[in-house]
Each structure stands twice: as C-alpha cells, then as structure tokens.
Structure 1
Amino acid sequence: MSAKSPPPNDASARTRRAQLSKLRHDLRTPINAILGYSEILIEDAQDRADAALLPDLEKIHAAGKELLARVNEVLDNEKIAAGEWDGDIEALAANLHYQLRTPTDAVIGYSELLLEDARARGQHDTIADLEKIHTAAQRFVQTISELVQYTILQEDALGLNPDLAPAEALVEQAVESIKPLNNIEAPTRERGAILIVDDNPINRDILIHRLTRQGHTVAAADNGKRALELAHTQNFDLVLLDILMPELNGFQVLQTLKADRTLRELPVIMISALDELDSVVRCIEMGAEDYLPKPFNPVLLNARIESSLEKKRLRDQQRALFRRFATDEVVEELMAEGFALGGKYVEATAMFSDIRSFTTIAEAQAPAETIALLNNYFGYVMQAIAAEGGIVNQMVGDGLMAIFGAPRPRPDHCERAVRAALNMMQRIQEFNQEQAAAGKHTIKIGIGIASGRVIAGYTGTEMRATYTCVGDPVNLAARLEAHTKVVGEPILIDERTRQELGGGILVQPQDTVQLKGKTQSVQIYSIPLAQVG
C-alpha cells in the first residue's frame, strides 16, 4: 500500500473517490465523443487532402484533449489521498466551470463554423459527425451547469440526507442528476410542449413550422378562450401569447392564467409588434416571462423559447428536489413565497401517532424487516392523513406528527384530523391482514389529537430547516398519544377538538386527568372505533 493511499477503514475517502469516479465517468463520455469523431474527421480530411477543414478540426481535437486533461486533473483521486480536496462540491463545481469554459467554447465555436461550411458544400457525412461533436459539447456544458445548479439548490432546500455531511449529500444529489450521453445524436436544445395563441393564421403557421422542426410538441389556438381550454386539458411547458386578439385578448388570458393556482407557474411569452412596447411591459409586470417582437427573428425566437424552457426545467427540478423533503403544500408555499425562517400564528390541529410495543417488535426481527415494516406502515397511514389535507412534518422512528390547518388554512381542521385518525385505524386493519397473511408481526397504534393556536413556519438554520408547528396544542397532542397506553383507548382528543366536531363523529368522555408536563387537569375524550368503516 502506497503512502498516499487512504487506510481501508477510511469510509469518507472511499466515498469521495466513488463520487469523483462517477462524475469523471459522466464528463468523459462526451469528451470521448468529441475526440473520437474529430479524429475520424481529421483522417477523412487528410485522405481527401481537404486543407480547408483540417485547421479547425485540429483545433477541436486539441480542445478536446485539453478538456480531458483538465477533467482528469480536477477530479484526481490522488488529491483525496493527499488531503487536497475536502469534499466541497461547490468549490469543485466552480473550479470545473472556470477551467473548462475556454476549451468548451472552442469546441462549440469551431464546430459551428465547420457546420456552416459543410452545409454550404453539401458534405452530408461530414455534417453528421460535426453535429455529433456539437451535441457532445452542448451536453458537456449541460452536465457542468446541472452540477453548478445543484450547489445553488443546496442553500435553499429544506434539508439533505441527515446521515451525510452537507457536501457529501449534495454530491449524492448532483451526481445522480447527471445523465450520461447514452445517445450522441440526442438533441441538446430544450424541448417542450408549447401552446401558440394567435388569431393570425400566418403567424401561427410560421411558429408551428419552426417549432416543430426544432423538435417541440406544438398545439395552437386562434383565440383566448380556446387557449384556456387547452391549458386546462393538456400539459404545456410554455405559452406563446399574442396580445391583440378578438374575444379574450392577451392581457385577459394572461390574467386568467396567473390567477389559476394550477396554471400560474406556466411560463408565458408575449407576442407583440414593436410599437406595443408599453403593452409588453404591462404584461411582464402581470407575470409574463418574456416577449417576442413581430416579425419573428429565428435566432431571437430560439433564444427566448429555450431560456424560458430552461427556467421551467430548473423550477421543476427544484420542486422535485423539495418534494423529497416536504409535502406538496409546503413545496407550493416555498415555490410561491420563497424560504424564510420564522412563523405565524394559525388555528390548527396537531396529531401524534405511535406504534405500540415497537421496541419489542424491532428486537424480534432483523433490521431490514423492521425498516420494511415501517415503510409499509407509513405508506398506509400517510395516505389517510393526506386524504384529509394534513401534512406529515415529523417522522421519528415509529412515531409521526401531522398538522391539519397549516400551511393552508382549513376551517374544519378538527374534523379532518379526527376523520384521518379513524381512516388510519381502518387502514391499520388492512395492514395487519397483509402482515398476518405473510406471517409477519401485526401492530397497534395510539393517536393523540389537540387543537388550538400554534406558530407554524420554518425552524432551523438557513442551511437546514423544516416546516413545523409549535405551541401548547402540539405538546398536548403528544401527551394524549402517550396517555392512550394508560387508558387503553387508541384515539384521544382534547376539549377544544371535541367542541369543534360536528354531529357525525361519536365521542366518548373520559376522565379529567393530570398529564405529564401540564400544570392543570385536562378533560379528555376518546373516539370509539365502532364507527370505523
């Protein structure tokens, strides 16, 4: 073993080597394409004595070799052994972006020049290989950009894998997001489903023709009313919207889209004549993404469309990342209002649940079986909570905490929580039937529910935070859940929750009890399971 090699038990070093190896592989794939196809073209040009192509092809090949050398240098395993890289993925991404920019620009620039020349000459075989080089370079840029983008998301995400250090968790997400170049002929432009809204048939035809040729999926509407119908029935990534139209004009369509919770984030590019600049400014203030002047400039058209599609793709990636750590309601609040530590007072209902004798169950089986049991159990009960609009914001071991009435206010949050509890009990019956049929452990759970004024919001730090609720009802719900073991009733609620329930839910009074941590006695009630369907 060399002096530089990490000791066999150095798990951190092994993890970092694996991370660099994966990233190095994904970056080398397009570089290999650049080098391979440029070598083929150089050989062909030499065979044909084509002096016009050779200089620029050699520059592409040289830039490709420089890319490979710099990737190998930056992502060198020996740097870990020597302690020269500490796992800071943000610094690594910035270094890659800086060092690889010039040779990448050279490959893209010279390949574009050669493509123009080859098309003018009608050299179809040369065109095909040059396009593969250009595609590989664009994919290389995309790979670096995605890595840089995920370093940005690190600061805004609700949380990362708690078992990993921040840098390692970020690499885990970033590396997995990088897609290898499986098909070198795959297009590099952003492709999307685009809705064209214009009452002018010529404008529609030109846009349909150009966008279809570029690989977009295109639909068209000749008026605002039809556009809104299509927007509600089909999934689009972008809308190109004319301002001057009969019936509903562009202003009205845009206003309707932005007022619709399900469509407000759909990017809209306004289509305008040059003398409608004031109207375009108004539309952008109303939420439009950008605008295109008439007549359409192909270069500007592509740039504006690709920019908007890229932004939407990044927003979708961000939303998908957030959904790994938060419920849909919290994600939508984050996307709409942004992230800020702190909270606000709301009326809500807190629920705590716990598996009875879980420690005994866990001791009697292998860890993998325990994890499988928990995953299956959470799958059952979380469906019941979600069905009533609750959010699960804490899961610790076999216990979970759910909130009803935040972040989205719900006037019937008490009833929703109790209905969810009854549904959970019904689903536990189904869960136990499945467990028993497989010869596995069955379970019982206890649920405590309390309502009142709580502070709901994000707690933690700017680097790591969670959406939660704090307040006396939260503490009381936890105490009630613990007290279910004492009284033998699976669901206990407090006085405030009982007062807010309608007549459709049966309630059984229990004693006034002194709960741990409470200075005053608490009247508690149970929810009979006889009403479980």
Structure 2
Amino acid sequence: MEEHADAMSSAAQILLHAIPEGQELPVWHRDVERIRQAALGIYRLVRERLATEHFMQPHLVSGEDLQGLRHELRGFLQNILGRCQLVLEEEEQPETVQCELTSIMEHAHACVTVLDRNRDYIAPERGIDLAISPPTAKLTLPFDDEEEARAPISGATILVADDSAGSREVLGRFLTSQGHEVVFATTGREALDRVDEMDFDLILLDLVMPEMNGFEVLRALRLRRKLRYTFVIIISGLDANANAIRGIEMGAVDFLARPIDLRLLRARVNACLERQRLRERELAQYFTPELARHLHRHPEQLAAGRRVEVSVLFCDISGFSRVSERHGPERTIRWLSDVLGTMSACIMEEEGVLVDFTGDQVMALWGAPHHQPDHADRACRTALAMQASLPELNEKWQQEIGHPTEISVGINTGDAYVGNIGTPQKFKYGALGNTVNLASRIQGACKYARARMLATSNTIERLTVPIFSRRLARIRVNNINAPVYIHELEGADQTDPWHRLRTEYETALQLFETAEFRKASSLLGQLLDDYPDDGPSLLLMSRVVDELLKKNSEGFDPVWELPGK
C-alpha cells in the first residue's frame, strides 16, 4: 500500500509540475493537488501507524484500532477516486491528464484490494458492528447503451451527512452536477436538525460521525416517521456486511462502501428518486407537482379527513352528447381530452386540486389540503381563464366538430369535509357536503339563468380582490331548501359597456324583489333595447311579466325555484 500511495503522489506531482510557469492554472489543478495530499495522507498513515511495531503484532491490536485505521484509509481513497472521476467526467481533458488520472485510479483500486484482503477483527464501536464478510457491491459497474442513454433524475433535495470535508466536497460537486440541491451536515445531531428544518428527497448518511453515529440517526429518523417517505443511503468506510444488514433493517434503502464509484452512486440515487417520483405522480393526478411533492413528504395531511372552508368549482362541456352522436367515439375522445386538458391546466395554474372527471365534467377545489386564504379568488380566476381559453380551442376544433365549444361553470364556497373520499384500497382526494352539492347545482343553473359562469354570494363575499360580477337572482335549487344569490362572473375591463348593463340590471332586479313590477318592466324594456340578446335580462323580464299578469300579488316570493338540476 505504501508503494501505491507513493505512485499516486508522484503521478499527481507530474501533472502539477507540467503546468508552465505564468500560465493560467487549469480547472483540474485544485483537484489534483487534493489528490496528491490524500495520497500523502495514506503514505503517512501506513508509515507512521500501520508499519509500527504495535501493528506488526496482531495480539496487541484491537479490532477497534484496526477498523478505525481502515476507515481513515477508505476516506482518503474515496477522496482520490471521487476527484479523479469528477475531473474526467466534467470536461474533456488532454491525453496526458487522462493517462495520469487513470494510473492514479488503478493504484487506488489496488489499495482497496489490499484493504479487502485484511479484515481479521471484529469489535463494537458505539453500537456499530464491525464484521469481516466482504462487501457485495463492486467499485465499478458495466453500463449498457440503454443505461447510459437514460437521463438522470434531477431537481431533488439531498442531505449529505458526513464529517469528512473532502468527502462532502466530492459528493456535493457530483450531486450538484446532476441537477440536485445539496445540503450538508457534519455531525449526526446536525443532520437531525437539518431534517427538522426542511424536507429532503434523499439522505446520504455516514456511519462514523461525531455526537451521534449513523445508526443513532437512523433510529431517530424512524421514531420521527421520516423514513417512510425520505430514503436513506448509508455511505461508509465500514465495509462489513453486518453494518449493511443492520442499516437496511433499521430503514436505510442501501449501503455503499467507500470508496464509491460515482457511476454506481448515480444509479442508486436515481433508483431511489424514481421510487419517490412514482408516488408523487400518483398524487399529481389531483395536485400540482409542487403540492404532490409536499404531500408525499407529509402524508399525515392526507391521512385523516377534516372540515375546512373551501371553494368548489364544477365545469361542464356543453353539447357533448351531440358531438358523440355525430362523430363517434374516436374523434369525440380526442376533442374531449383536449378540452378537459385545457380546463385542467387552468385549474393547476391557480394551484387548485383536480378532484375528478365525470364524463364531460371536471370538479376542482381550493382551500385544502393546504391553506389558501384567497381560495375564492383562485376559483373565480380559474373560471375566467377557462372562458378565455375557448377561442383558441374553437379555432382548432369548430370546423372539425361543426359547432363552437362552450362550457358552463358553477362555483360555491363554504365548509366541507375534505380528505380521502375513496376507500382504504383506492385513494381519492376530494370534498363532500352541502357546499359541494350546491356548487354542482349552480353549474346546472347556468342553462336556466342563461349565463356561462355563476358563483354564489358565499363566494363573492369571500373575495379578497373584487372581480366583476352581476347579481342575477335569488334562487332555490333542487333538494336544497336554503335559497342563495347567484352572480354572473364577467371578465370585463373598466371601460366595458357591460358595467352599464350590470348597474341597470341590478336596479331592475331590486325593483322586482320589492314587488315594483311596473318600474322594473320599464327599466328592463329600455335595457333590452340596447342589449336585446342579454339572456338574464330577457329572463327577468319574463318573470316580471308573469307577476304583472297575476290578479293578486299577495304572497309574492322573489326566490326563483329552478325547474330542474
């Protein structure tokens, strides 16, 4: 091992001395200098400790002493091999640099072989079992073309808990180059503090650390129920199988013995993250990707239902049956998928929960599972965005299906039970209660009120930022006794003539509700001269006329009983 260490140091010096004086230092200079220092560290350990009279007499050497020395040597070797791989992977290097680094790696692997041949002691150290069976993982793995072509998973947040500065730097640089955010901890207790402060997709955990060793950290993570949704890979110079078995039994998903081939580390990290993403994709059926990731890390927020104030939206595509009858299932499904996909994108843009698709209808909610104080605003903005998306959809589909695509939207706000409304076997996040039922009825009321978007007064009163709306009527829907005001949403600007329509209509509605039918009729007549196609005005005029034709207006009830759902 002494010869190999000397050879590694010499090769590094050759590279460093080959840099001409006055020339800008190449990017690999710092790594090669660290490689030289690590090789000298191995040389000193072998000369000053391993080659002493004490270590030459096995009966004087404790297993703990030898294991500690082996752990230090593996740390140096990890630093050397990791930096060599980083330099060779990060950019194309001159042939001389590649040759010398390859030579250094060969000598480092030879040192690992020496370490693996000399494992003769078993000794406990702070709960760590030091066994002698050889590791199962090899330093390098062959990669086929498919594996090499597979894109790595990026964007994860990874905690590296390791007391070695060199190891932290190598792992941090490598993981950052893969597109991950890396956070460091130098002690076991600091690792737990980091886990309490933020969420991680993966933890790379050393076993031998100050304050708390890796097994103690694993035990604490298991007690805090973190291991169910945060994967842990143990990375350690303690290469015995017993440590791997114990770590995995305690909740770790893998054990990698130093020095680690970075390609092997990348494969193991990607495998863990792929398992994470599969669960997140399941949740992403209902939630935005960001919220799906949050809920994957905090499943307790979905475990039990709760009562909370939410805003619920139902959107229905008009004319679905007609399209299905005329064009058959294949074209109908393509059109329906495009329209529902566009509506879903509007919901996700406002961070809503996509609860369900039912035929040609989509249901969404805001205000749960995480708190959204502006849930009513988000629901209304979503409705306006849905309507605004129709011109582009019609440009694409109107000629093909023979008529414009139209939708009707109903929104209501109030308390509802939210949580898993499916079964223990099949998860389905959603909401139940009168608030949801009324939102569905309000969507159905669009065809009777001759409006495209309706929201109840419950929703309008909870807006934090005013949205243009017109109070249309006080209605009572099927199977719900309490009447409610409905408001038509409008995406108008300040100069739009719609504002005059709204003002005069609401004045006429007030006259109607106070039984001043002749005044209401006069005002509506003037309004219809200017807006002859306004459906709500025509409907209110018909209700006014009905009351005028009655001989006796006693017992007049301004609440409009809807004729159907």
TM-score (norm 2): 0.49
Q: Is the Cα contact below 8 Å between 2:376 and 2:413 reproduced in 1?
A: yes
Question: Do residues 467 (structure 1) and 429 (structure 2) align?
Answer: yes
Alignment of 1:422-441 (within 5 A): 422-436=384-398, 440-441=402-403
Residue 496 of structure 1: aligned partner: 458
Q: Is the Cα contact below 8 Å between 2:310 and 2:366 reproduced in 1?
A: yes
Report the Cα distance in structure 1 between the residues aligned to 2:470 and 2:190, rounded to whole angstroms: 54
| Gapped regions of structure 2 (runs ≥ 5) | 1-112, 114-136, 241-254, 497-565
| Gapped regions of structure 1 (runs ≥ 5) | 1-115, 117-133, 140-181, 209-217, 222-229, 245-249
The one of 306, 313, 318 aligned to 2:274: 313
Question: Do residues 300 (structure 1) and 243 (structure 2) align?
Answer: no
Amino acid across the alignment from 2:321: T
Report the Cα distance in structure 2 between the residues aligned to 1:185 and 1:393, rounded to whole angstroms: 37
Give SS of 2:428's match. Answer: strand
- Indicate how the Cα distance of structure 1 residues 390 and 191 shifts in structure 2: closer, same or farther if over 3 A, else same: closer
Residue 409 of structure 1: aligned partner: 371
Amino acid across the alignment from 1:473: T
Give SS of 1:220's match. Answer: helix
Report the Cα distance in structure 1 between the residues aligned to 2:470 and 2:183, rounded to whole angstroms: 60
Report the Cα distance in structure 2 between the residues aligned to 1:324 and 1:509, rounded to whole angstroms: 35
The one of 254, 257, 265 aligned to 2:200: 265
Alignment of 1:47-86 (within 5 A): none
Q: Is the Cα contact below 8 Å between 2:237 and 2:257 reproduced in 1?
A: no
Residue 349 of structure 1: aligned partner: 311
Larger radius of gyration: 2
Q: Is the Cα contact below 8 Å between 2:159 and 2:203 reproduced in 1?
A: no
Amino acid across the alignment from 2:446: T
Shift of 1:255: 3.7
Residue 216 of structure 2: aligned partner: 281
Amino acid across the alignment from 2:200: E
Shift of 1:358: 1.9
Question: Do residues 519 (structure 1) and 457 (structure 2) align?
Answer: no
Q: Is the Cα contact below 8 Å between 2:422 and 2:429 reproduced in 1?
A: no
Report the Cα distance in structure 1 between the residues aligned to 2:341 and 2:483, rounded to whole angstroms: 36
Give SS of 2:482's match. Answer: coil
Q: Is the Cα contact below 8 Å between 1:344 and 1:456 reproduced in 2?
A: yes
Q: Is the Cα contact below 8 Å between 1:494 and 1:524 reproduced in 2?
A: yes
Please report the RMSD computed on the Cα atoms of aligned residues, expressed in angstroms: 4.3
Residue 243 of structure 1: aligned partner: 186
- Indicate how the Cα distance of structure 1 residues 318 and 502 shifts in structure 2: closer, same or farther if over 3 A, else same: closer
Q: Is the Cα contact below 8 Å between 1:453 and 1:473 reproduced in 2?
A: yes
Report the Cα distance in structure 2 between the residues aligned to 1:325 and 1:450, rounded to whole angstroms: 19
Q: Is the Cα contact below 8 Å between 1:342 and 1:457 reproduced in 2?
A: yes
Report the Cα distance in structure 2 between the residues aligned to 1:240 and 1:495, rounded to whole angstroms: 48
Amino acid across the alignment from 2:173: A
- Indicate how the Cα distance of structure 1 residues 398 and 257 shifts in structure 2: closer, same or farther if over 3 A, else same: same
Residue 364 of structure 1: aligned partner: 326
Amino acid across the alignment from 2:179: N
- Indicate how the Cα distance of structure 1 residues 374 and 200 shifts in structure 2: closer, same or farther if over 3 A, else same: same
Shift of 1:388: 1.0
Q: Is the Cα contact below 8 Å between 1:258 and 1:265 reproduced in 2?
A: no
- Indicate how the Cα distance of structure 1 residues 364 and 400 shifts in structure 2: closer, same or farther if over 3 A, else same: same
Alignment of 1:124-273 (within 5 A): 183=144, 202-203=166-167, 208=170, 219-220=172-173, 235-236=179-180, 241=184, 243=186, 252=190, 255-256=193-194, 259-260=197-198, 264-271=199-206, 273=208
Q: Is the Cα contact below 8 Å between 1:243 and 1:272 reproduced in 2?
A: no
Give SS of 1:366's match. Answer: helix
Amino acid across the alignment from 1:300: A
Shift of 1:375: 0.7
Question: Do residues 421 (structure 1) and 383 (structure 2) align?
Answer: yes
- Indicate how the Cα distance of structure 1 residues 270 and 443 shifts in structure 2: closer, same or farther if over 3 A, else same: same
Give SS of 1:386's match. Answer: helix
Shift of 1:299: 6.1
Amino acid across the alignment from 2:275: L
Shift of 1:360: 1.6
Give SS of 1:392's match. Answer: strand
Give SS of 2:417's match. Answer: strand
Q: CA offsets per residue over residues 5-31 of structure 1, 9 Å max, x none?
A: xxxxxxxxxxxxxxxxxxxxxxxxxxx
Report the Cα distance in structure 2 between the residues aligned to 1:518 and 1:197, rounded to whole angstroms: 58
The one of 328, 344, 354 aligned to 1:392: 354
Shift of 1:421: 0.4
Shift of 1:434: 2.2
The one of 424, 441, 446 aligned to 1:484: 446
Shift of 1:269: 2.2
Residue 528 of structure 1: aligned partner: 490
Q: Is the Cα contact below 8 Å between 1:448 and 1:491 reproduced in 2?
A: yes
Q: CA offsets per residue over residues 267-313 of structure 1, 9 Å max, x none?
A: 12233546644586257636683554557789634699677664443
The one of 465, 471, 484 aligned to 1:509: 471
Q: Is the Cα contact below 8 Å between 2:374 and 2:464 reproduced in 1?
A: no
Amino acid across the alignment from 1:376: D
Alignment of 1:97-108 (within 5 A): none
Q: Is the Cα contact below 8 Å between 2:317 and 2:408 reproduced in 1?
A: yes
Amino acid across the alignment from 1:267: L
Q: CA offsets per residue over residues 464-497 of structure 1, 9 Å max, x none?
A: 2311101111111111111100011111111111
Q: Is the Cα contact below 8 Å between 2:421 and 2:427 reproduced in 1?
A: yes
Give SS of 2:373's match. Answer: coil
Q: Is the Cα contact below 8 Å between 1:355 and 1:445 reproduced in 2?
A: yes
- Indicate how the Cα distance of structure 1 residues 196 and 220 shifts in structure 2: closer, same or farther if over 3 A, else same: farther
Q: Is the Cα contact below 8 Å between 1:195 and 1:220 reproduced in 2?
A: no
- Indicate how the Cα distance of structure 1 residues 255 and 234 shifts in structure 2: closer, same or farther if over 3 A, else same: farther
Amino acid across the alignment from 1:314: R
Report the Cα distance in structure 2 between the residues aligned to 1:398 and 1:334, rounded to whole angstroms: 30
